[in-house]
Amino acid sequence: SGLGVSLVASSPFMLLVAKRRRVEVYREGVAQTYDGDGLETLRTLLDGLRGEPVVAIGYLGYDLGGLIERLPYAAIDDQDFPDLLIGFYEGAQRVVHATGEVETIGAKVRAPAMSPDQEAQRFVTAPGTVENNFTRERYLETVQSARRAIEAGEIYQVNLSQRFAGSFAGGPRELYRNLREASPAPYAA
């Protein structure tokens, strides 16, 4: 249809978090942590939920490629962002942005995956001011360098991105609305 649609949910009954080979599964405030493959764990959890009215929302990060291919890892990992984070929800809201239509899917029955204390400990964010890791000039130089490497056949793809970090006073829904308004990409996460 071409309409921007979002799924909005909170308080998953189960949460899968993986970074490299560290896998965490949270259910009803109980955390299981082990060495494993986040993608295999996701497959197992989805198989166990087959036929249940469940909504899975999350993301698969770029660094999951290291589980599939053995490539040198050159990125500086100065953030504790998971490679994979999937929440499993019994209820969600489907929002059609062009019309404002909101449809409720399912209903919450199960206990949340994490307690508020677990959530605060696991997902800490606190940069004080808005910062970025490139000046405009340096970014443009890096783009030109990447283009030269592509033309020379040294690389065929590059993931060149700029990080902006800052703090936000407000709740997650308000932050989401602000980001959605500033960048209404149809498949953003």
Query: Would you tell me how many other CB atoms lie within 10 Å of the CB of residue 33?
Result: 11
Least confidently predicted of 19-23, 124-128, 170-174: 124-128
**What distance in Å separates the CA atoms of residue 122 and residue 22, rounded to the nearest whole number?**
13
Half-sphere exposure at residue 89, Cβ-oriented, CA atoms within 13 angstroms: 20
Tens-place pLDDT, residues 140-151: 999 999 999 999
The residues near 166 (Cβ < 8 Å, ≥ 6 apart) are: 127, 129, 130, 131
> Rounded to whole angstroms, how far apart are CA atoms 72 and 63?
11
**Rounded distance between C-alpha atoms, residue 75 and residue 159, angstroms:** 11
Which has more confidence, 136 or 163? 136
pTM of the model: 0.69
Based on DSSP, count helices (H) and strands (E) in the chain, helices before strands: 5, 10
Over residues 50-105, the pLDDT tens digits come to 888 888 999 888 777 777 777 666 667 667 788 999 999 988 888 887 787 888 88
Average pLDDT over residues 160-186: 78
